[in-house]
Structures are given as C-alpha cells and as structure tokens.
Chain A
Amino acid sequence: MTQKLASQLNERIESYVGCPEELIQVLHQVQEKLGYVPTEVQQLVAETLGVPLSRVYGVVTFYHYFRTRPVGKHIIRLCLGTACYVRGAEGVLKTLQDELGVEVGETSADGLFTLEVVRCLGTCSLAPVMMVDEVVHGRLNAEAVQELIQSYRKDENK
C-alpha cells in the first residue's frame, strides 16, 4: 500500500473512532478504496473502532461482499439468481471460466478480471445478467460475453 493510499484510508477510518456499530460501513469504505480488505487494514479498523481483530475478521468473513484477496482491474459479478439460472446463467459461467481461465473467486493471469458470482442483482427481466464494475450487462449468451471481454481487453491495450 502506498503512503498516499495509507493516509487517504486513515482519513476515512478516523471519523469512526470508537464506533463499533459502524464496522460494516467502514469495511465498505475500505473495500471501495482498495478493492479488498487486507489483514493489516483489518487490524487498523479494529484499533480505530475499539474492537478485537477477531470481531473484524468475523464480520469480513461472514459477509459475501467483502474480499480478503486483491482483485483485478475489473470485477465481474455474474448473477446466478433464479431468473438468470432458468435462462442459462450456468452456460454463461462456463464461458467466462473458459475465456478468463479462472475459477470463481480468482483473478485472471493478466490481472484484468476477477470473477465473482452473486445471487440476484434485481434486473431479472434482462436475464442472464452480469455486472462489470458498476455496469449491468443483460441478455447474455456465450457470444455476447466473449465480445464483451474482448472489448475490455482491447481498451486495455490502447
């Protein structure tokens, strides 16, 4: 973690001194900044909020949203909710796994994509759906997914 990042992080966390009930909101801020919640930052959060590290660790590992490993440049969240499942999301998952060469939870070798699976993004009418960062892509099939990945890769090489 760079100095700049460390001090920006400190700034954000400092406002929650002694507020253990804000733990989840603080962790969101950390993950927003760093992409995940490293152990040393968990320690920092524990000290600032005045709770044991075990409590922070317990919360980080309980909630699916929080990551403890670094992520790629883009985070893919593929929906495996009922509506998406019924419209072929598993096939899309297979395509993604093949295309990126990763299992769920892993980051591609070129560091571009981390593949995650979620249950329901609330855009069921466009099933199957996935989010790449904050953008929702719907009506997916193998072709559409491959094209999408290619376009992100192209942008990267520009």
Chain B
Amino acid sequence: MGQYDVLVCSGTACQSSQSVALKKALLQAATERGLGKEVRFIETGCMGPCEQGPVVRIMPEDTLYVRVQPEDAQEIVREHLVNGQTVQRLLWIEETPRPCDLPFFARQHKNVLANCGLIDPSRIEGYINRGGYDGLKQVLTEMTPQEVIEVIKDSGLRGRGGAGFPTGKKWEFVRESQGDMKYVVCNADEGDPGAFMDRAILEGDPHTVIEGMMIAAYAVGAQRGYVYVRAEYPLAIARLRTALGQAREQGLLGARALQTDFPFDIELRMGAGAFVCGEETALIASIEGRRGEPRPRPPFPSQSGLWGKPTLINNVETYANVRSIIRNGAEWFRSIGTETSKGTKVFALAGQVCNTGLVEVPMGITLRELIFDIGGGVPSGKRFKAVQTGGPSGGCLPEALLDIPIDYESLSKHGTIMGSGGIIVLDESSCMVNVAKYFLDFTAKESCGKCVPCRIGIPTMLDILDRITKGKGTKDDLVRLRELAELVRSSSLCGLGQTAPNPVLSTLRYFEGEYRAHIDDKICPAGVCGALARTYTIDPNKCRACDLCRKACPTEAAQGTPGGRPYTINEALCIRCGACAEACPFDAVHTIPLKAEKKR
C-alpha cells in the first residue's frame, strides 16, 4: 500500500458540520488498523462544495467523498485505505470519484484558490512546497519596483473588492506619492451578506495574502502593512495570526525580508461590526481608532490615507492574485477572461441553489453556466426567478439575462455590479419588493449618519417600500421612489449611500409588475408580504362560465368548460397576475388569503 493523503475540509462551514469529530474518527480508525505511517491526515481550508459538507478528499487517486459523518470513518479506512475500494455510497455522483469529472468542478478554474483545500493552512511548509513565496523571491532578487508595477498593470488585474479599479494603476499612484512613510492595507472586512470568498482565502491559504501584500509593499515602497479583518471571522483571525508569526520566523516579514534591504511587517486590526468600514476611507478611520465615517475624496488614500500617509488599500482576493501573476506573467493572466475583465473571480454561491458553496471561474462565464451547470440549478422543483449580485450595492437580474457574460462592464450595463462575489439565487418564493426592502433595511441600519442623503434618504425610501408591502402603496410612490433613488445615488458622500438605491432601481427595472401588483391589486404574487399574501379565486355564485377568464389566463390555472359548472382556479398554477379578474365581466373573481402553509 502506498502513501495516502486524506484531506479533510476544515473551513468554518464544514467545522460546524462536524469535520473536527470526523477527522478524529478517521485518525482513530486508521491507528486501530496500524496505518500510522501510510496515511497523512490533513485539515485543509474550504474545498468549495459547502452544501455537500463535510467533505473528504483522498490522494493520490483524487477521490472526493461528500456528506461524510464520523460514523463513516471505519468504512472509509477499511474499504478505501486498506482494501483499495471506492466507497460508492459516499460519492457525490455514482461512479464519479474524481472532482474534475463532477459538474460542480468541471468548469471551474482554480487560481486564487489553488492551495485552498489542498494544504494545511496552519503550517507554512504546505504553502512553500507548492511554490509559496517564490513570487516574493523573484521580485526581491530580479525585479525593480517599477517592473513589478508594469507586470501588474499589463495583467489587467482589477480590484476584486467590488469597484474593479485597475490594480496596477493604483499601485503606481501610491508609488508616485510623496511620503516619509507608506502603508499597505488589506481590506478583509467582507461585509456583504452572502459573501464568504475572503473568509475562505484567509482561513484556507493565509500566506498567499501575506505574500501578495509583501510584493505590493515592495512595489509601492511601503514599510508597514495592516490587515483589517472583521470581528465576525474568529477562525480567519487566528489563522492569519499564526501565519504572520510563521512568516516572521522564516525571515520573510521583519527587518530584512529574505536577507535583502526590504523591511516590512504586518499587523492585524479587528473590525467591530460596521459594514461601512469596508469603504476605504471609513476603514482607515477605523484603523486610526475612530468612528468609521468616510471622508470626501480627493485626496485619495493613495496620496493621503492612513495617518495622512500614502496608503495602498486592496481587497484580500486582489492580493491573492499577485503571486501567480508574478510567477506566470501578465500574458498568462490576460489569456483568461474577457476583453475588459481579465483573470478569474471567486464567487460565493448561496440562496435557492442546489450547490451552495465557493467556486472560482474565468471571467466571461455566463450566469446560466454558473447557476445551472456549476450550481446545479434551483432545488425542490421551484422556478428560478432572479439572481442577486454585488450584495446591498448590487441588483437583481431576471431569467431573460441569464446568458450575459460575467464581467464588470456587462453586469453594470444591466443595472447591477460584480461586487465582491456574493451571488444569491432567488426562486419563485421570493418577493422582489420584499428583497429591495430587505437591502434598504440593511443599508439604513449601516449608514454612518454623516451625510444627509444617506442618513435620511435611505430610511425615506425604506418607508415607502414598507407601506407598499403593507398594501398602503400609491402610484405616486413609484415616482417618489425613483426621485429619491437618484438623489441618494448622486449626492451621498460614499459608496454605501451611492449604491444603496441599486436594489430598488434594478427591481423596478425588471420586476415593476410586482410593485404594481402590491400597489394596484393589493396582492403579493410571491405570497410573502403578510396580508398581501393572497391568491385569486372564483365565486361560484357569480360565475356564468363565460370562458373569458380561461382565455385570459397565461398559465391555464383558470379552468372550466364554457356554459358548464362554475370555473375554478388551480392555486398551484396561479401566478397572481390578475388577468382573470380584469377579464371577468361579472365581478366573480376576487382574492383570498393564501393558505398558511403556502406562506413563507
């Protein structure tokens, strides 16, 4: 029997699904059979298919087992490790042991996540064995800072935090700024609900971020770095702390990195639950120990940032791309993706989708491929309704736009943004008015309060949406909503306020019918909004079997025979469009509350 590596996914999600107990059970089972030397158990970062967790991957033959429980440990050790047989019942798809053959993985392109799920993130050796810190070595020994900046510019890498600003250009601005002290900051605040890409990178491969920051520091001329991590990520904080300590021990961070003249060290700073601190100037204020209130720009952080010094701020995923660009070259990176959006993007798939989890795909892949081929589509036989991207700053795209390519320009053209990578799939049970309200509720609570358009504009919009969902909406409300949205968007001080109207604007753009149903018909078609969760029914006493409703109905829910018995409406088929009510000349169609079990 050869050497086996048993990789146990130990990201936060799998941990909460018993991966720790699982690893213990596997270790025990192996020890009982005297397999100490032949098997290595490695706790790795996120492998990606979180819905199927806990996940175990056995090398070298590359077999992926899913939904593994501690009780399965004996069988895996006995059948796979000792007898060399695949445990079929623990495979995701029958007869398909290798991840690369599974639909979830087949179209992915792991670059940023190359190590995630394959190495033990608590040991620097795993990172170094896979080429870790080679990029830094190359940069320090063979390249000038200007050359590094040129490579990053040529690659076309754009900020992965959401705004998509050309990274090389930003580095150049910081390089050119005057200052006796410069800083490099990593934005690990990841506040978008539904986003967990940065979490996975920090927990699963922290050194790739450290190396990226160091290369950036060399390029821009910085001496100190900070990683600003949100407090809600205790595991990421712990892994980072450990990794920083290891980097210092290895003579990477500190007074003389790799025995060169490059002094650089990194400190951690914890956030404290403020979404606005993901905005770069608010983040700076937070590191300075103050309330996270943004400042007007210019001056931009690249000229005057942390404590007034030139500061480079980039997102976790942006730094995680740096090493591979240095090692493989700008042209390699440019060969992936679209004309304007190069490279890959890590996405967090969540919501009403079968395969929730973490994926990395080349830019340019379509939403349909992401949600249906990789994501496995919508579960429980429900219909796809919309996909929400970009968190509270983004928008919702309908089914008709599923074939657009995922890149910065394409998404913004259609009224949403790439954002940091959170993708929420919504099915027919979601009310789009309610979704808009949900996001405004969030941004209203997270507003720092400094500027009037955001502080007062957002709650005012929220108020209108609230009334609409309670059946008190009027036609004027939609006019007012659009006016306010434009006002808040154009005059807010920072990105939070400027993008807060996006969920409202995009749902108005693609789902205006739902707003009208709430306002004109006092009905919530999705059956979500409290008292408006109603459906249509026909009063048998008034119905004359004239057949007009059946002809008007787009889903064949209105049923009956002309001149026969009173018509009926099949509730399961009814989409609450109201066409039958409009068509009926006898006022026989009215609404009744949806049965309780149909409500969300």
Contacts and interface: CB of A to CB of B under 8 A. Distances in A.
Contact of B233 (A80, A122, A127): A122
Interface in B195-226: 195-196, 199
Contacts of A64: 272-274
Nearest to B234: A134
Contacts of A123: 12-13, 16, 50, 196
Contact of A119 (B193, B388, B426): B193
B426 A86 contact: yes
Given A21-B287, A122-B196, A124-B194, A86 B424 contact: yes
A122 B422 contact: no
B119 to A, nearest CB: 20
Interface in B368-415: 388, 391
A122 B289 contact: no
Contacts of A124: 193-196, 348, 350-351, 356, 422
Interface residues of A, number: 44
B428 interface: no
B17 interface: yes
Interface in A68-122: 77, 79-88, 91, 118-122
B86 interface: no
Nearest to A84: B193
Interface residues of B, number: 54
Most buried by B among A121, A125, A137: A125
B231 interface: yes
A98 to B, nearest CB: 17
Interface string A34-46: 0000000000000
A122 B411 CA distance: 24
A88 B196 contact: no
Contact of A118 (B13, B273, B287, B388): B273
Contacts of B192: 120
A126 B273 contact: no
Interface string B327-354: 0000000000000000000001111100
Contacts of B349: 125
Contact of A82 (B190, B286, B292, B350): B350
B324 interface: no
B357 interface: yes
A84 to B, nearest CB: 8
B269 interface: yes
B270 A25 contact: yes
B15 interface: yes
B13 A138 contact: yes
A70 to B, nearest CB: 18
Interface of B: 12-13, 15-17, 50-51, 53, 190-196, 199, 231-234, 269-275, 286-292, 348-352, 356-358, 388, 391, 422, 424, 426, 430, 438-439, 442, 446, 448, 600
18 contacts: A21-B289, A23-B289, A25-B269, A27-B272, A64-B274, A65-B231, A65-B273, A82-B439, A83-B422, A86-B350, A86-B351, A86-B430, A120-B191, A122-B12, A122-B233, A126-B13, A127-B351, A138-B16
Given A24-B269, A82-B388, 6 more contacts: A21-B288, A63-B292, A81-B193, A83-B350, A83-B351, A136-B16
